[in-house]
Amino acid sequence: MRKIAFLGPTATFSDLAVRHAFPEEERIPYSTIPACMDAVIKKEVDLAVVPIENTLEGTVNLTIDYLFHEADLYVVGEATAPIQQHLLVHKRYAQEWEETEKIMSHSHAIAQCHKFLHTYFADKPHEKMTSTAAAAQYIYDHPEQRLAAIANSLSAKEYDLAIAKENIHDHSFNHTRFFVLSREKEALALPLPLKEPKDKTTIFVTLPSDQAGTLHQVLSAFSWRRINLTKIESRPLKTGLGHYFFIIDISQAIDDVLIPGAFAEMEALGCTVKVLGSYRSYSIEYNK
Amino acid sequence: MRKIAFLGPTATFSDLAVRHAFPEEERIPYSTIPACMDAVIKKEVDLAVVPIENTLEGTVNLTIDYLFHEADLYVVGEATAPIQQHLLVHKRYAQEWEETEKIMSHSHAIAQCHKFLHTYFADKPHEKMTSTAAAAQYIYDHPEQRLAAIANSLSAKEYDLAIAKENIHDHSFNHTRFFVLSREKEALALPLPLKEPKDKTTIFVTLPSDQAGTLHQVLSAFSWRRINLTKIESRPLKTGLGHYFFIIDISQAIDDVLIPGAFAEMEALGCTVKVLGSYRSYSIEYNK
């Protein structure tokens, strides 16, 4: 049985993703994203599942930066999961949930439920917690207080709370992408029931000094080969303002001719190319 | 006398930038970046100075996203300032600063002084505050505790603290870019002593559905005209994973022919182009 590191505590969205992607494996919570990656490097675990991008918040910079600057790991799979937020209260207040006096959650979850909070709890304070699951746990531990958490259904189950209102998030299309990270380069077949796998390749590219002109040439190397890119994003190299590296997602697996040809051209232009992984991307769908 | 909104409280790095860029104007602190922008929109102030990018942390997503999605404002100037962090203690502990029992600051400042903290205070806890200045104020308010703040020299002066150690940041090249935002489109001449102004133009570009192919065409429109770009970055449109808009910095002012020609081509390709501003960029240098 493999060990899988995830961003804890129990019942976070990362935990939920791991339960679907690796239902048979041992899940081990870590308190930060770098700690999840370090656990793989130190061989405490076999794999780590970490968030890489969210529809509303964008790229998780901490994940990208740690992968670029610190952790020598490979992406061996990807899972995209819908983010469904519910209002959870202690079971003793299940009927009188509208009398909640304070809302607790991760700051992103609070932001994602702005309309609901404005409608039902416009004058009530919010308290930011380190995760949605930590908010749920706090409410379980403080039954004497009239509190509500914004968290997923797994948190309700794990911390024995009532779901007072389902699906209170503003946007139904909100998803988070998770990378599965390994010390080994080989792509991993994730077990079902993850649907519709697609091939993807993710690379880091560092440009030589004339950044803007070279970026155009880099994109040309892909474009004339009709290699489709699904994402291109810059992050600071941390060496000075205006110095960036780029994360590029290619919507196909590495082949024998076209992608290696593009990489060779980019290197001839003075770029550094690092293949983070060529892997399959899966969509998680939750059952009710 | 104009009124300038900045991210407070008194003595933040934003405040320091405003004092140098607008020494004669009235400075008004606001508690969040969106609140600074809203203050301009509601005409409570004339201008806002907000952080847009840091060498180590990258783009300030909150600023970019609020400018794109919410605030109809223009960039009329830019100032880049070095970030110099010092260790501040209550004056009664100026000599025994090594006996500090807890370090307080903004999480970014704590991260920026990792080596110093590891050398002198490896086993001491850190407490994250909403700003470096808030940490300084807390220390002034709690003289009975053995605390230290990581903050700038202005905080030492404003909150009457001793600078126990100067320049404790890991990287001497760390800078922050600040945008000067206005309701009016016209660029602003910032008063001296800001050095070496350069012309810049910043645009938001939204691509039609085939994103990657069009991005290559967009860069071509600039490239064949030899228009140099200093930055290109994507942010989520918040409508679904894989949907982005781009922030592009052009290293010249809008001219009559070349840049309008590039914009017209981009619009013919189905892109939406919004000019955030064509302005001058200044470097702030602090005196000791």
Q: Do domains B1-82+174-183 and B86-165 have the same CATH topology?
A: yes
Chain B residues inside the 8 Å CB shell of A223: 212-213, 216
- Residue A212's pLDDT is what? 63
Q: How confident is the model at residue A192 (pLDDT cuts 50, 70, 90)?
A: low
CATH class belonging to B193-282+284-288: alpha beta
Q: How confident is the model at residue B239 (pLDDT cuts 50, 70, 90)?
A: confident
Q: How confident is the model at residue B193 (pLDDT cuts 50, 70, 90)?
A: low
What percentage of chain A reaches a pLDDT higher than 90?
70
Q: How confident is the model at residue A288 (pLDDT cuts 50, 70, 90)?
A: very low
Chain B residues inside the 8 Å CB shell of A235: 58
Q: Which residues contact A189 (CB under 8 A, 6 or more apart)?
A: A77, A280
CA distance B177 to B80: 4
- Residue A183's pLDDT is what? 96
pLDDT of residue B17 exceeding 50 = yes
Integer CA distances (angstroms), A279 to A111, B68, B230, in order: 32, 33, 32
Q: How confident is the model at residue A287 (pLDDT cuts 50, 70, 90)?
A: low
What percentage of chain A reaches a pLDDT higher than 70?
97
Q: Which fold has domain A1-83+172-182?
A: D-Maltodextrin-Binding Protein; domain 2 (3.40.190)
For B234, nearest residue in chain A (alpha carbons): A233
Q: Tell me whether residues B55 and A236 touch, CB distance under 8 A.
A: yes
Which is nearest to A81 in space by CA: A177, A199, A148, A5?
A177
| Stronger pLDDT, A3 or A285, i.e. the higher one | A3
Q: Tell me whether residues B213 and A228 touch, CB distance under 8 A.
A: yes
pLDDT of residue A194 exceeding 70 = no
Q: Which fold has domain B1-82+174-183?
A: D-Maltodextrin-Binding Protein; domain 2 (3.40.190)
Which CATH superfamily, name and number, covers A192-280+284-288?
Answer: ACT domain (3.30.70.260)
| Stronger pLDDT, A216 or B46, i.e. the higher one | B46
Domain boundaries, chain A: 1-83+172-182, 86-165, 192-280+284-288
CA distance A248 to A229: 7
Q: How confident is the model at residue B35 (pLDDT cuts 50, 70, 90)?
A: very high
CA distance B239 to B229: 27
What percentage of chain B reaches a pLDDT higher than 70?
97
pLDDT of residue A89 exceeding 80 = yes
Q: How confident is the model at residue A44 (pLDDT cuts 50, 70, 90)?
A: very high
Chain A residues inside the 8 Å CB shell of B232: 212, 215, 234
Q: Tell me whether residues A56 and B236 touch, CB distance under 8 A.
A: yes
pLDDT of residue B213 exceeding 60 = yes
- Residue A216's pLDDT is what? 85
- Residue B288's pLDDT is what? 45
Taking residues A99-118, what's their average pLDDT?
92
Chain A residues inside the 8 Å CB shell of B215: 219, 229, 232
CA distance A135 to A147: 10
Q: B80-93, pLDDT tens digit by residue?
A: 999 999 999 999 99
Q: Pick the range with the lowest mean pLDDT from A141-145, A188-192, B154-158, B180-184.
A: A188-192
- The pLDDT mean for chain A works out to 91
Can you spell out the DSSP letters for chain B?
--EEEEESSTTSHHHHHHHHH-TTSEEEEESSHHHHHHHHHTTSSSEEEEEEEETTTEE-HHHHHHHHHT---EEEEEEEEE---EEEEEGGGSTTGGG--EEEE-HHHHHHTHHHHHHH-TTS-EEE-SSHHHHHHHHHH-TTS-EEEEE-HHHHHHTTEEEEES---S-TT-EEEEEEEESS-S---PPTT-EEEEEEEEEEEE--S-HHHHHHHHHHHHHTTT--EEEEEEEE-SSSTT-EEEEEEESS---SSHHHHHHHHHHHTT-EEEEEEEEEEEE-----
Q: Tell me whether residues A216 and B220 touch, CB distance under 8 A.
A: yes
The architecture that CATH gives domain A86-165 is: 3-Layer(aba) Sandwich (3.40)
Q: Tell me whether residues B212 and A220 touch, CB distance under 8 A.
A: no
- Residue B96's pLDDT is what? 94
* The two three-digit tokens of residue A62, written as one number: 């901490």
- Residue B211's pLDDT is what? 64
Q: Pick the range with the lowest mean pLDDT from A67-81, A202-216, B3-17, B81-95.
A: A202-216
pLDDT of residue A105 exceeding 80 = yes
Q: Pick the range with the lowest mean pLDDT from A162-166, B135-139, B167-171, B274-278.
A: B167-171
A213 near B CB under 8 A: yes
- Residue B202's pLDDT is what? 97
